[in-house]
Amino acid sequence: MSALPQVVRDPALPERVTIYEVGPRDGLQNEKALVPTATKARFVRRLVDAGLPVVEATSFVHPRWVPQLADAEELVDALLDDLGDGARDLPVLVPNERGLDRALEKGLRTVAVFGSATETFARRNLNRGLEEQFAMFEPTVRRARDAGLDVRAYVSMCFGDPWEGQVPPAQVVEVGRRLLDLGATQLSLGDTIGVGTAAHVGALVDAFAAAGVPVASLAMHFHDTYGQALSNATAALRHGVTTLDASAGGLGGCPYAKSATGNLATEDLVWLLTGLGIEHGVDLSALVETSVWMAGELGRPSPSAVVRALAGGDEA
């Protein structure tokens, strides 16, 4: 697992990129078999040890909606025992004020809310309409910011919706700007069903810039449903985006959108960034070993092309 790509630096691209690891939350949330809390804690620890600068640990969602994440408090306790106070910097998703209360009780310092760019998905995922979602987010974001927390805002269905079809960039920008106006410190724009293409990515970033939203406020969250995630990541880099979401081993999907398959694999993204000479701070060998281990825990091979290439016969 020592192979690395030849580095060919493109000076037009950012010098450094932050990889926002979502595997423990977004990657595992759709798993039907419950993953033991101790396994999740070890997964997070191994990702941190591999050099990932941001690892989203879990979600304080009601267990009825996502049973896989019903152990959020227990997981945070295990991480505090293992990582100490640093575990309080690991982001968690909070769907509403009750979720925020649970995060505050644990002394956590970074939370995320999850919005929608479309009416139908807002109804299906949040049980609220496109407009109504902001009334739910407002007190959650305000209270979090008043408590000194950073707040990330995910926006799903930014590139297409399985029920509504094409999503106008202006509609995505309107949702994103309103979340920033509420106090969110970063927007993660999600290609939830993986239908985006490179030029579409650039057009959306340009639309935000034209609306006065700095590119530094934006992150991108790509799914590889149609094999476009790496192409889209490269397009985002060319438009100045320096935070990219990814999931170790390519784990993940969305429980409320059946067409949402796996996230962009962190290993595939690390290989791309390494070849482009972009700093990221991640130990690829340690990351691959972690995904091979987690694939064994889940009982199936990793969908990541880089994991398959580097792990050889070691995969589950």
**pLDDT in the model for residue 255:** 45
186: which strand partners?
152
**Which residue out of 75, 87, 144, 254 is catalytically annotated?**
254
**pLDDT in the model for residue 314:** 58
Q: Which of 163, 161, 184 is nearest to 172 (CA)?
A: 161
Strand bridging mode 243-246 / 18-21: parallel
For the whole prediction, is pTM greater than 0.85? yes
Instruction: Look up 158 and say whether it is catalytic.
Output: no
**pLDDT in the model for residue 1:** 46
**pLDDT in the model for residue 125:** 84
All residues at 6 or more sequence positions from 128 whose CB lies less than 8 Å from its CB, including other chains: 122, 135, 136
Distance CA 236, CA 19 (A): 13
Can you read off the two tokens belonging to residue 178? Answer: 């309103």
Q: Averaged in consecutive runs of 10 residues, what is the pLDDT profile of the chain (316 residues)? A: 85 97 94 95 98 98 91 98 97 96 98 96 88 94 98 98 96 98 98 96 98 98 96 98 97 56 92 98 98 95 94 64
Q: Which domains does the chain carry?
A: 18-314 (3.20.20.70)
Q: What is the DSSP letter of 98?
A: H
**pLDDT in the model for residue 287:** 98
HEC readout, 119-188: HHHHHHHHCCCCCHHHHHHHHHHHHHHHCCCEEEEEEECCCCECCCECCCHHHHHHHHHHHHHHCCCEEE
**pLDDT in the model for residue 256:** 44
